[in-house]
């Protein structure tokens, strides 16, 4: 199976998981990236079965709208039963690294609101220890050098993601070579640096369910 076929399989598995629980008033949180895009395309075939979606990025909002799925502002939504999104890495505790697509802040906000966070990923994303994928950190532009210096003090090698501006108008530092021992602690520590908007560790609020696409089929991991 190709990587795209694995992504498609987990997108369908996420849909199969949520479909029986959807009601006409349900609003679904939708993530960003190539795996999330497969989910959006699958979701579109059932757009009559729910009310609409909250998007974690402008790109996702656009794709949802193209499919005719209503997109709501998070502030106007009282309940979000499900958030479905991909990841760059997950460990067995379903702590994640996200932000490869620079959408980490909105993704973290939508995940915080959702009752159930379903992560969908192909098997290459499951790792024993987080950190081979450089950790994305969203930073207020004027704080870039300060934050970079602080990240070096934490043992990382931050690299400015050239030419990328987030949907919130900020920049991204990708931090290489971090020793991620206790992920919730490091997540809080980095978020405490003045000028950081948030970082791509999803450990304080990990996924609730990981649907992992493997050559033997979709595996379900829970915490
Ligand atoms: C975007 C993300 C994505 O979920 C992550 O980069 C995985 O993307 P893909 O499904 O394309 O592998 O965090 O900010």
Residue 137 has a pLDDT of 99
pLDDT at 23: 95
- Residue ranges for the chain with pLDDT beneath 50: none
Annotated binding-site residues for substrate read 32-35, 85-88, 98-101, 125
Q: Do 98 and 23 belong to one domain?
A: yes
Tokens 């996420």 locate to 14
Paired tokens of 173? 């530092």
Strand partners, 176: 157
Same domain, 155 and 115: no
CATH number at residue 35: 3.40.50.1360
Nearest to 139 by CA among 85, 179, 112, 99: 99
Catalytic residue among 95, 107, 150, 187: 107
Q: Indicate if ligand 1 lies below 6 Å from the C-beta of 86.
A: yes
Return the pLDDT at 147.
99
Mean pLDDT of the chain: 97
Q: Which domain holds residue 189?
A: 135-199
In this prediction, residue 166 carries a pLDDT of 98
> What predicted TM-score, i.e. pTM, was given to this entire model?
0.97
- The verdict on 100 and 11 lying in the same domain is yes
> Strands 157-160 and 171-176: what pairing?
antiparallel
């Amino acid at each position: 199976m190709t990587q795209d076929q694995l992504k498609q399989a987990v997108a369908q598995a996420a849909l199969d998981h949520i479909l029986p629980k959807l009601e006409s008033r349900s609003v679904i949180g939708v993530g960003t990236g190539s795996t999330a895009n497969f989910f959006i395309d699958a979701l579109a075939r059932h757009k009559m079965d729910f009310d609409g979606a909250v998007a974690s990025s402008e790109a996702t909002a656009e794709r949802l709208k193209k499919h005719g799925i209503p997109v709501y502002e998070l502030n106007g939504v009282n309940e979000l039963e499900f958030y479905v999104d991909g990841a760059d890495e997950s460990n067995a505790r379903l702590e994640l690294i996200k932000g490869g697509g620079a959408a980490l802040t909105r993704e973290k906000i939508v995940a915080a609101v959702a009752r159930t966070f379903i992560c969908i990923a192909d098997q290459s994303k499951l790792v024993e220890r987080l950190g081979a994928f450089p950790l994305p950190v969203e930073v207020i532009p004027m704080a870039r050098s300060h934050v970079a210096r602080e990240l070096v003090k934490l043992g990382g090698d931050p690299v400015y993601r050239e030419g990328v501006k987030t949907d919130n108008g900020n920049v991204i530092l990708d931090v290489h070579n971090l020793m991620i021992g206790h992920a919730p602690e490091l997540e809080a520590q980095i978020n405490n640096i003045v000028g950081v908007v948030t970082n791509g560790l999803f450990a304080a609020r990990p996924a609730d369910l990981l649907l992992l696409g493997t050559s033997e089929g979709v595996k379900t991991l829970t915490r």
